[in-house]
């Protein structure tokens, strides 16, 4: 006698218990702490904060731990938490010109005011796996120049003085908020940038790479990458002035792109922009390349490549949406599969019957397919 | 401005009151012409009806500019709305997401009716009437109605039939109407036809 | 927030904050007023993955109250893991009564089926929808499909269905079969088998559809005309099963094919577990009497 499978609830409970067990791993080893993750896996923490759109290193570390190090799972956990938070205030736009710089490089000028500052970069490290890191080696203190606190001018502003780069007029209107309004295409650039800023690093990286290989070429130069701390301020109407909430670390990339000019616009450099929570140069660069590619229509360029296609890029860059929908295929689909089974059986019966009736007719096979 | 009336008159239990009022409105919207009752008390300054006040508290917030007809509008009412919902008064009728009209009130011709692409971007207009017992009889049909649905409304503005026919002719664009009488309400979504 | 409205999970009643509920409630009202039209809404991240019912969960959370009785099904069954998980979620965050009996439920959230037991006036059926746009597989661009709906230009869909007939002698769509609602909007009924399509037509229940990832809500009011698209010479028809349910003997219900062994042994049983169990219980009572 057939009995339908039962006991979903206890199966789920047991699965969760097993998950918790595997998450903890070997009990004879010390459990890692959020503080250790924040300090020693800080770039993972940065990525989770960036793609979850929530700046909180401690919570990001907790999410990483809860997700057993699965980054997209951690991003999802932090995003779901973010959704439950009330929006208490809207900050002033952060001023990256006033950033306390930790790293700042330009590929377009050999030297420039404020200088080139390498900062804590993997660039020029030889990627040789380092046995000296095993255990708890002593690490000498870093040698860093004294921070002057002087604002470091942005490379884009240098070009702007010569009117060689497109002007970006200041817009004071409050931009839309993709977390509070349904998306609508075509999208204003501000909302597009929001989507890209929380977009999947790997997806944007691949799209950015495709533009370099000719799928929407944009002749990019890294005008500047800067990483550092900026102040977040909110206006308090009752006080009549802005109050600082503290500092956050940001990575900004200004990509400078050649543009030969069109009927409406003079030859000039154009911009692609990337801004990401934490230290994430790869993401900021990829974002700026995608941003520029998505501005093709603004410059009368032909839209021929995936990276230039707004609906394609924006609809698919969110890894929490993507992972959910791809992984939902493992949910039961047997009702629909049953419907398809019935259909294929009937189509197959028709096909076999027709073949049996007209064995000589060669043209039939093609028609039946 | 009378601060005392602006700070009072909200729901005693906002979460469950909003849920029950919403369900009453939804049920009425889904079954045009049937009479629903608001179970949770809310009181606004001035002539805004009990159901109207409850609907405002349930559905309006900072994302929904609200239009009040001249017969209802007052600084105290604006303050009440802002305090309890965070909604602001619409600067002009074209920006209204919700509109509240008193007895005999006529919808402003500039209330948004949505676009062909986005017909949902239209105003919901809430008009106070004197009752659903006597008054002008209507026969309704359309989605939400099995066959036809009778409805009597007293205190509605003259020429309502003509107004509604014009509204129906814009479908899928159009305003959606909620008629209120004290704590009771009837909804007329744009999909409804008035027969005879 | 009062202590009373805080749920066991430490969140607001029914998980969503009031601002989010209001936004969803407004969308639901517009959806009811424009039957079959997909209302965009600012879908929130939920604590379950996109594609796993986030749209249905948000609609249910915006609608449900303390007096409701909730039933959750997936593939017609109350005990599939995702149905169990969603039901447990609402029991935790809204402390509502839950049931497996269709007739007892006031709100039914479903994935892929409409219950066999006829729905009645006052019930609300909430569908989980993966891809709300019926034209999406013919035209991937939202900007294009929006215009098609605006102009009521559904020729492409008819061409597609007719191509099926030309190729296969029949319409080769067996689930998520498109319908026209109240004579205006072509609508995706979610991936229910077309067997269930006729149950939507003139149903006394309110039908709400939530697509979380795609950020759309749509509705069919009670007693609304819902026609499956077809042609005069190829009228719409539903699946028929040759045999009755092997457990309860029901005919004219949707059946799951259960593989019994590796030698081709199989049986057909009800997809709607509640309907099947009720029939079996009734039969036992009769035998005992």
Which pTM value belongs to this model? 0.92
**Average pLDDT of span A327-355:** 92
Across the interface, whether the CB atoms of A339 and C88 are under 8 A apart is answered: no
A106, part of any domain: yes
Number of domains in chain B: 1
Chains touching chain B through at least 3 C-beta pairs below 8 angstroms are C
Across the interface, whether the CB atoms of C82 and A11 are under 8 A apart is answered: no
What is the CATH classification number for the domain harbouring B165?
A: 3.40.50.11310
CATH H-level superfamily of C18-228: Bacterial phosphonate metabolism protein PhnH (3.40.50.11310)
**DSSP helix/strand/coil, A275:** strand
Across the interface, whether the CB atoms of B116 and C204 are under 8 A apart is answered: no
Residue span of the structural domain in which B114 resides: 3-195
- Is B169 near chain C, with CB under 8 Å? no
Dihedral angle of Cα A312, A317, A323, A325, to the nearest 10 degrees: -30
Q: What is the pLDDT of residue C6?
A: 59
Across the interface, whether the CB atoms of C143 and A186 are under 8 A apart is answered: yes
Q: What is the pLDDT of residue A144?
A: 79
Q: Which of C56, C76, C210, C276 is catalytic?
A: C276
Does A107 lie in the same domain as A35?
Answer: no
Across the interface, whether the CB atoms of C75 and A80 are under 8 A apart is answered: no
Q: What is the pLDDT of residues A119-173, one digit of tens each?
A: 999 999 999 999 988 888 889 998 877 766 678 888 888 888 888 888 887 887 8
A279 or A115: whose pLDDT is higher? A279
- Is B22 near chain C, with CB under 8 Å? yes
**Which residues does chain C have within 8 Å of residue B22's beta carbon, measured at their own beta carbons?**
21, 25, 62-63
Does A254 lie in the same domain as A109?
Answer: yes
Residue span of the structural domain in which A347 resides: 334-368
Contact C80, C52 (CB under 8 A): no
**Average pLDDT of span A79-83:** 93
**Closest residue of C to A8, CA-based?**
C81
Number of domains in chain A: 3
pLDDT at A366 over 90: no
Q: What is the pLDDT of residue C153?
A: 96
d(CA B156, CA B103): 7
A134, part of any domain: no
C266 or B101: whose pLDDT is higher? B101
Does A103 lie in the same domain as A78?
Answer: no
CA distance C12 to chain A (A): 9
Does A184 lie in the same domain as A107?
Answer: yes
Helix axes A319-327, A71-83, angle to 10 degrees: 110
What burial class does residue B108 get, using C-beta atoms within 10 Å of its C-beta: 0-12 exposed, 13-18 middle, 19+ buried?
middle
**Average pLDDT of span A237-258:** 92
Locate the DSSP E strands across C82-234.
97-98, 107-111, 124-128, 179-181, 185-187, 206-211, 216-220, 226-228
How much is the ipTM here?
Answer: 0.97
Dihedral angle of Cα A70, A76, A78, A82, to the nearest 10 degrees: 170
Q: Which one of B115, B120, B167 would you mutate to disrupt binding with C, by most C Cβ within 10 Å of its Cβ? A: B120
Locate the DSSP E strands across chain A.
100-105, 220-236, 241-259, 268-277
What values do phi and psi take at C61, rounded to 5? -65, -35
A1, part of any domain: no
Q: What is the pLDDT of residue A156?
A: 84
Is residue C249 part of the annotated active site? The answer reads no
Does A280 lie in the same domain as A226?
Answer: yes
Is residue C122 part of the annotated active site? The answer reads no
Across the interface, whether the CB atoms of B146 and C202 are under 8 A apart is answered: yes
**Closest residue of B to C208, CA-based?**
B30
Q: How confident is the model at residue A261 (pLDDT cuts 50, 70, 90)?
A: confident
d(CA C65, CA C83): 19
Residues of chain C with CATH 3.40.50.11310: 18-228
Going by their DSSP bridges, the two strands C69-74 and C107-111 should be labelled as parallel
Q: What is the pLDDT of residues A179-203, one digit of tens each?
A: 988 889 999 999 999 999 999 999 9
Does A183 lie in the same domain as A66?
Answer: no
A137, part of any domain: no
**Which residues does chain B have within 8 Å of residue C62's beta carbon, measured at their own beta carbons?**
22
Q: How confident is the model at residue B4 (pLDDT cuts 50, 70, 90)?
A: low
Q: What is the pLDDT of residue C5?
A: 59
Cα(first)–Cα(last) distance of chain A, in Å? 41
Write the residue in C51, C84, C247 that is nearest to A328 by C-beta: C51
Instruction: Give A110's contacts (C-beta < 8 A, 6+ positions apart).
Output: none
- Is A88 near chain C, with CB under 8 Å? no
Instruction: Give A134's contacts (C-beta < 8 A, 6+ positions apart).
Output: none
A282, part of any domain: yes
Q: What is the pLDDT of residue C277?
A: 95
d(CA B98, CA B108): 12
pLDDT at A48 over 70: yes
Does A102 lie in the same domain as A78?
Answer: no
Nearest of B182, B176, B177 to residue B131 by alpha carbon:
B182
Core vs surface per residue B136-153: b (16+ CB within 10 A) or e = eebebbbbbbeeebebeb
Across the interface, whether the CB atoms of C269 and A328 are under 8 A apart is answered: no
**DSSP helix/strand/coil, A260:** coil
CA distance C198 to chain A (A): 16
Is residue C276 part of the annotated active site? The answer reads yes
pLDDT (tens, 9 = 90+) of chain C, 289 residues, equals 343 455 656 788 999 999 999 999 999 999 999 999 999 999 999 999 999 999 999 999 999 999 999 999 999 999 998 999 999 999 999 999 999 999 999 999 999 999 999 999 999 999 999 999 999 989 999 999 999 999 999 999 999 999 989 888 888 899 999 999 999 999 999 999 999 999 999 999 999 999 999 999 999 999 999 999 999 999 999 999 999 999 999 999 999 999 998 888 899 999 999 999 999 999 999 888 7
Q: What is the pLDDT of residue A360?
A: 58
Is residue C245 part of the annotated active site? The answer reads yes
**Closest residue of C to A16, CA-based?**
C85
Is residue C53 part of the annotated active site? The answer reads no
CA distance A366 to chain C (A): 10
Q: Which one of C34, C179, C183, C216 would you mutate to disrupt binding with B, by most B Cβ within 10 Å of its Cβ? A: C34
């Amino acid at each position: 006698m057939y009995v339908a499978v039962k006991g979903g609830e206890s199966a789920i409970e047991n699965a969760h218990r097993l998950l918790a067990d595997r998450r903890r791993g070997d009990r004879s080893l010390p459990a890692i702490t959020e503080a250790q993750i924040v300090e020693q896996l800080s770039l993972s923490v940065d990525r989770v904060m960036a793609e979850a759109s929530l700046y909180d290193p401690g919570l990001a570390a907790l999410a990483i731990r809860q997700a057993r190090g699965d980054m997209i799972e951690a991003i999802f956990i932090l995003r779901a938490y973010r959704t439950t938070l009330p929006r208490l205030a809207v900050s002033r736009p952060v001023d990256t010109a006033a950033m306390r710089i930790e790293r700042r490089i330009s590929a377009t000028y050999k030297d420039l005011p404020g200088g080139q500052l390498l900062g804590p970069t993997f660039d020029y490290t030889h990627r040789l796996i380092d046995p000296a890191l095993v255990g708890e080696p002593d690490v000498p203190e870093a040698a860093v120049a004294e921070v002057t606190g002087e604002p470091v001018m942005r490379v884009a502003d240098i070009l702007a003085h010569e009117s060689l780069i497109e002007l970006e007029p200041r817009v004071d209107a409050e931009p839309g908020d993709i977390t509070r309004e349904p998306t609508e295409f075509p999208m204003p650039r501000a909302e597009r940038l929001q989507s890209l800023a929380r977009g999947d690093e790997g997806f944007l990286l691949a799209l950015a790479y495709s533009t370099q290989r000719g799928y929407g070429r944009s002749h990019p130069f890294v005008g500047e990458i800067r990483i550092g701390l900026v102040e977040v301020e909110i206006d308090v109407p009752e006080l009549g002035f802005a109050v600082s909430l503290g500092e956050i670390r940001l990575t900004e990339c200004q990509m400078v792109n050649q543009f030969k000019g069109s009927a409406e616009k003079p030859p000039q450099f154009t911009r692609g922009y990337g801004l990401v929570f934490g230290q994430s140069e790869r993401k900021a660069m990829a974002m700026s390349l995608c941003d520029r590619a998505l501005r093709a229509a603004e410059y009368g360029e032909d839209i021929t490549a995936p990276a230039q296609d707004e609906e394609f890029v924006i609809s698919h860059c969110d890894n929490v949406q993507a992972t959910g929908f791809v992984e939902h295929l493992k949910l039961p689909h047997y009702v629909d599969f049953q419907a398809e089974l019935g259909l294929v059986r009937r189509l197959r019966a028709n096909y076999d019957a027709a073949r049996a009736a007209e064995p000589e007719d060669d043209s039939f096979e093609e028609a039946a397919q | 401005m009378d601060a005392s009336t602006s700070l009072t008159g909200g729901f005693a239990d906002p979460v469950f009151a909003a849920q029950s009022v919403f369900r009453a409105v939804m049920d009425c919207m889904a079954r045009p012409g049937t009479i629903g009752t608001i179970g949770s008390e809310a009181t606004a300054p001035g002539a805004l009806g009990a159901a109207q006040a409850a609907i405002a508290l349930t559905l309006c917030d900072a994302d929904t500019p609200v239009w009040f007809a001249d017969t209802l509008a007052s600084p105290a009412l604006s303050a009440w709305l802002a305090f309890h919902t965070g909604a602001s008064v619409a600067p002009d009728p074209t920006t209204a997401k919700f509109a509240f009209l008193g007895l005999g009130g006529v919808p402003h011709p500039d209330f948004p009716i949505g676009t062909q692409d986005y017909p949902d971007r239209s105003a919901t207009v809430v008009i106070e009437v004197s009752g659903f017992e006597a008054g002008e009889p209507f026969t309704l049909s359309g989605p939400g109605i099995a066959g036809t649905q009778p409805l009597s409304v007293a205190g509605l503005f003259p020429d309502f039939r003509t107004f509604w026919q014009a509204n129906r002719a814009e479908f899928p664009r159009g305003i959606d109407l909620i008629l209120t009488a004290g704590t009771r309400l009837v909804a007329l979504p744009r999909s409804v036809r008035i027969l005879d | 927030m009062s202590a009373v409205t805080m749920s066991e999970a430490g969140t607001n009643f029914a998980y969503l904050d009031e601002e989010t509920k209001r936004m969803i409630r407004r969308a639901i009202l517009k959806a009811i007023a424009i039957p079959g039209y997909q209302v965009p809404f600012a879908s929130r991240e939920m604590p379950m993955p996109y594609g796993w019912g986030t749209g249905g969960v948000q609609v249910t959370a915006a609608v449900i109250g303390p007096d409701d009785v909730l039933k959750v099904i997936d593939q017609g069954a109350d005990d599939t893991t995702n149905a169990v998980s969603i039901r447990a979620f609402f029991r935790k965050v809204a402390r509502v009564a839950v049931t497996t009996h269709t007739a007892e439920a006031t709100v039914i959230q479903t994935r892929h089926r409409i219950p066999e037991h006829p729905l009645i006036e006052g019930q609300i059926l909430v569908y989980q929808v993966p891809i709300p746009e019926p034209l999406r597989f013919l035209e991937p661009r939202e900007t294009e499909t929006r215009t098609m709906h605006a102009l009521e230009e559904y020729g492409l869909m008819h061409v597609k269905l007719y191509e099926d007939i030309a190729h296969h002698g029949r319409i080769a769509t067996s689930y998520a079969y498109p319908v026209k609602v109240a004579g205006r909007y072509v609508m995706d009924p979610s991936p229910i088998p077309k067997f269930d399509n006729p149950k939507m037509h003139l149903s006394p229940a309110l039908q709400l559809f939530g697509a979380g990832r795609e950020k759309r809500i749509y509705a069919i009011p009670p007693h609304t005309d819902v026609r499956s698209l077809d042609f005069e010479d190829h009228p719409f028809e539903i699946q028929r099963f040759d045999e009755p349910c092997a457990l309860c003997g029901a005919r004219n219900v949707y059946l799951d094919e259960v593989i019994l062994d590796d030698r081709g042994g199989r049986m057909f049983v009800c997809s709607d577990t509640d309907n099947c169990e009720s029939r079996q219980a009734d039969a036992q009572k009769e035998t005992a009497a």
